[in-house]
Chains A and B, each alone.
Chain A
């Protein structure tokens, strides 16, 4: 069961199109897995629809309609085939990353591997898929800015709470944590950082350098 969700402001930023592409993509992965947030985003999109309805209309150029009619001339609307037959969004996992450049898995330390993800048009920040073996922990670290994490599979506990598949987590500069993966399985997370992590200790710093943080 999903117990950790993005906050209202993040959902509003998503619905109004104001997230950078990395965070927007990460949030989409959460929405694929989470009915509750999905429903809430639909409500916030409905607010957007209402804002559009109330927007002050601005006249288009004289030939605008003609130009649009010309562009659709001779083309029929696409058939419906694609709609509704896609796999259940929850089962999609990381297929959202299809439009990104994703590296092969790279081992960084025993029990720790990652794939870097280059998101088209990402303004700032780094995105990667992280795999941590059962029972392993990520080096203790704090954040200069913001880290968003979406758990794809497995689970971890960082001393604040337990995060399972489908859960979303946001940590800011105030959080200093050490996620520990539970014993059952490898934990796969999609993570987005908008500023470098600050690792403590030599091994941790090496790890940070490896994955380019």
Chain B
């Protein structure tokens, strides 16, 4: 655990139209989360904030959240990360996937709260909870979260840009397939079959091990 890079060399990436963000490796991110869990390490937490909060905000805005809501949920995700840091298990999920799951659940909750319903949610329990936080442990089948993440990353890179685009957009909640179709100037049928093909292709690339 002492492998944490205390004084890191910070490199910056400035995406077109965006602003500079520090590049942090997946291993560093995982280490920071463990430092938060073990020692309430605020410096490590600040690194996590700087890496994830702007990405979550960008992700949620793409998903149809207003700037204010995206900002609020990005902050909420980081507060949740702090509280639940001990549940992070790098054997089950990479840091990015774990944080994605938290943001996803908060977004789903927010979305549902605004819907009319005869019953109020009780407490703050997530209906679906974090599926991987309570996954059964089966050592012989266990795959390292980071290993899976690398396989997924490689597979995504191998998809055609068009397939990667529709798959990526499938994760932006508010974008219905017809919205995607009009954005990309494609027919709805084309978007549907492209999404299906992308998923099939991804399955082939992951070779049945993960998907």
**Interface pair A24/B128, CB less than 8 Å apart:** yes
Known A-B contacts A42-B92, A48-B100; A58 and B127 likewise in contact (beta carbons under 8 Å): no
- In the complex, which residue of chain A has the Cβ closest to the Cβ of B105? A17
**Interface pair B58/A120, CB less than 8 Å apart:** no
**Interface pair B135/A38, CB less than 8 Å apart:** yes
Q: Enumerate chain A residues within 8 angstroms of B113, measured Cβ to Cβ.
A: 121
A-B contact sample (14 more), CB < 8 A, given A28-B128, A42-B210, A51-B168: A8-B196, A24-B108, A38-B136, A46-B93, A49-B101, A52-B103, A57-B15, A59-B57, A83-B87, A88-B136, A89-B136, A118-B118, A120-B117, A121-B117
Nearest CB of B to A37, in Å: 10
- In the complex, which residue of chain B has the Cβ closest to the Cβ of A74? B40
Q: Enumerate chain B residues within 8 angstroms of A76, measured Cβ to Cβ.
A: 40
Of all A-B residue pairs in the complex, the 10 with the closest CB atoms, nearest first, are A49-B97, A57-B54, A121-B112, A49-B96, A120-B121, A55-B59, A80-B86, A43-B210, A58-B58, A43-B211
Within 8 A of A (CB), among B197-211: 199-200, 202-203, 206, 210-211
CA distance A47 to B206 in the complex (A): 12
B119 an interface residue at 8 Å Cβ cutoff? yes
Q: Enumerate chain B residues within 8 angstroms of A20, measured Cβ to Cβ.
A: 112
**Interface pair A58/B131, CB less than 8 Å apart:** no
**Interface pair B19/A57, CB less than 8 Å apart:** yes
B191 an interface residue at 8 Å Cβ cutoff? no
CA distance A193 to B199 in the complex (A): 27
**Interface pair A8/B199, CB less than 8 Å apart:** yes
26 contacts between A and B (CB under 8 A): A8-B200, A17-B111, A17-B173, A21-B112, A28-B128, A40-B210, A43-B210, A45-B131, A48-B97, A48-B101, A52-B99, A53-B55, A56-B58, A56-B62, A58-B61, A60-B74, A68-B75, A71-B75, A89-B136, A99-B122, A99-B127, A119-B127, A120-B112, A120-B120, A120-B121, A123-B117
**Interface pair A46/B97, CB less than 8 Å apart:** yes
- By secondary structure, the A interface counts as helix
B138 an interface residue at 8 Å Cβ cutoff? yes
**Interface pair B196/A77, CB less than 8 Å apart:** no
Residue of A35, A60, A89 near B141 (CB, 8 A) is A35
Query: Hey, which bits of chain B sit against chain A, CB under 8 A?
Result: 15, 17-19, 21, 36-37, 40, 42, 45-46, 49-50, 52-59, 61-62, 67, 70-71, 74-75, 78-79, 82-87, 89, 92-94, 96-101, 103-105, 107-108, 111-113, 115, 117-123, 125, 127-129, 131-138, 141, 143, 145, 148-149, 152-153, 156, 167-168, 170-171, 173, 196, 199-200, 202-203, 206, 210-211
**Interface pair A57/B86, CB less than 8 Å apart:** no
Q: Enumerate chain A residues within 8 angstroms of B107, measured Cβ to Cβ.
A: 17
A101 an interface residue at 8 Å Cβ cutoff? yes
Nearest CB of B to A26, in Å: 10
Nearest CB of A to B159, in Å: 11
